[in-house]
Amino acid sequence: MSISPGFNAAEIREFVHEYQGVPHGRKGPWLAERKVSRGTFRRWCDAVYAGDLERGLIPREGSHMTVPPGKRTALEKTRAAEHAAHEAEVAQLSKRVRELEDTNKALGKAIGLLHAMSEEEPAVTLKTPDRSDS
């Protein structure tokens, strides 16, 4: 769910972080170039720093009054660290999946070779001794 149609949570978070790097005095024109109103951007910032952006939840009270900027930054750093840890886990699991898929392919080839070898071998017929004279 997104708090703004046409943008997902990752795009909004990136937009807010990019805005922080814009020099003072250029932020208004920067927003105008991207056709985002100050109200929309303020709502996005509240969701990124004090709400739940992924679920589209924005805090009721004005976060500028209730959450000091230093605490907002610390909160966002914590969330970024959690996100990075999640991404690292996903990468590790993806690597393991590739290893298991390669192993599965190798086993499939080995089984195929065994079947081919068993088809090429001559049929073995056991001669039983003639027991008619016993």
Is residue 94 located within the same domain as residue 53? no
Please give the average per-residue pLDDT across 74-80, as a whole number: 74
Q: How confident is the model over 16-64, as pLDDT tens digits? A: 888 888 888 898 898 899 888 888 888 878 777 766 666 666 666 654 5
What pLDDT does residue 117 have? 86
Is residue 80 located within the same domain as residue 28? no
Is residue 73 located within the same domain as residue 94? yes
Query: Global pTM?
Result: 0.43
Structure tokens at 3: 């708090």
φ and ψ at residue 8, rounded to 5 degrees: -95, 175
Report the Cα–Cα distance between both ends of the chain, in Å, rounded.
89
Structure tokens at 45: 């910032």
Classify the phi-psi angles of 47: left when phi > 0, otherwise alpha if psi is within -120 to 50, otherwise beta. alpha
Residue 110: pLDDT band (50, 70, 90) is very high
Is residue 60 located within the same domain as residue 11? yes
Is residue 39 located within the same domain as residue 92? no
What pLDDT does residue 10 have? 80
Report how far apart, in Å, the C-alpha atoms of 46 and of each of 113, 122, 132 are.
62, 77, 99
Compare 2 and 89 and report the one with higher pLDDT: 89
What pLDDT does residue 9 have? 77
For 16, half-sphere exposure in the C-beta direction (CA atoms, 13 angstrom radius) is: 21
Is residue 104 located within the same domain as residue 48? no
Percent of the residues in the chain that have a pLDDT greater than 70, as a whole number? 66
State which residues form the domain around 58.
1-67
What pLDDT does residue 63 have? 47
Widest distance between CA atoms in the chain: 114
Number of domains present in the structure of the chain: 2
